[in-house]
A = this chain, B = another copy of it.
Amino acid sequence: MTSTIPGFWAVIPAGGSGTRLWPLSRRAAPKFLLDLTGSGQSLLQTTWSRLAPLVDDRVIVVAGSSHADAVRRQLPMLAAESVVAEPTPRDSMPAIGLAAALIERRDPDALLGSFAADHLIEDEPAFHAAIREAVVLARAGELVTIGIEPTGPATGFGYIRQGAPLGIAEAERGRRVEEFVEKPDLETAKRYLASGEYRWNAGMFVVQATTLLELLALRHPDMVSVLRMIAAQPDRLYELWPSLTAIAIDHAVAEPAAAARRVAVVPADLGWDDVGDFQSVAGLSDGHGGPTGIVALSGVDDVVSVDSTGVVSAGSGRLVALVGVEDIVVIDTADALLVTTRDHCQDVKKVVTTLAEQGRTELL
């Protein structure tokens, strides 16, 4: 049994466009609102389910204003004030910062953990254990991140270089973060992997709300003032929000704090996946069934395969027939069809770019 962590809040920034998952992921129905694993739950719902045992009803979801209603529909158990609609996109720092300011007003000693709405974690007990250690470190004043055990020389993630153990009781795994590094090229990623010193940065942060705002105030004092003003007078959200700088929490807080040796990491092996592209989705969906060699994300009865392998989403009610194609990815929707291969899933976002350039906004 998992018990909740007193004073610990979950913040779920529900953003990201998921353009590599087009045409399933759209502006109006982004990745976090989709059930990409066939579990019957969207990634957002899965994220909430994973956190609820730790926080009870202490949750704040920050979503774009065009998605806030969908978030409320998917998570009807949330209180009205638990869903915050951003008037305009301002990247992750204002979103998480506003949640911190709101939480700080409710409980000056509160801690928060911020977790993307569109990632998956296979090993929930390991996740809960890592968060409990992170909370111990956060109570000691650290900005704490979770360092994901790399399973390969990935070039799509940022990395965390970990330093010496911190030796804090009940957080034995905790280590100093030497630095955050940007997405590396393949050679660098291989070197990181071989060294054993690097971890994937999954964008998870556990910290006291007040500590986060103090760290932010070191470089962006005006932003902290505005965020606390909105938290005190929520009616002024639409008036004050546009003045906030669009910036990611990594640049605004995490990297400078690491340089100031204020960041800790809890290394963990969680079965984490960012569900970044169809290659990733296929790996999560091996239980979906389908003809031999085919992972059917949906519409399994509408797939006919002759000597083919790959991933198919037959979501439009039409028959999808594959003949002699290998490692193919076919995503069939009512108004758009994608045909690519497992090796080219990263390039799907180029289609979205092209459609945007062509002004075909109805397909974005």
Contact = CB atoms under 8 A, between A and B. Distances in A.
A330 B340 CA distance: 11
B337 A337 contact: yes
Contact of A339 (B307, B318, B334, B339): B339
Given A319-B360, A319-B363, A360-B319, A325 B307 contact: no
Given A330-B339, A337-B332, A347 B319 contact: no
The complex is assembled from copies of this chain, and their number is 2
Interface stretch (A106-114, A163-171, A224-232, A350-358): A350-358
Interface of chain A: mostly helix, strand, loop or mixed: mixed
Interface in A325-364: 325, 328, 330, 332-341, 343-344, 347-348, 350-351, 354-355, 360, 363
A322 interface: yes
A350 B23 contact: no
Contacts of A344: 307, 323-325
A320 B339 contact: yes
Contacts of A360: 319
A304 interface: yes
Given A304-B354, A354-B304, A341 B319 contact: no
Interface of A: 22-23, 304, 306-307, 318-325, 328, 330, 332-341, 343-344, 347-348, 350-351, 354-355, 360, 363
4 closest A-B pairs by beta carbon, nearest first, are A324-B344, A323-B340, A319-B336, A321-B351
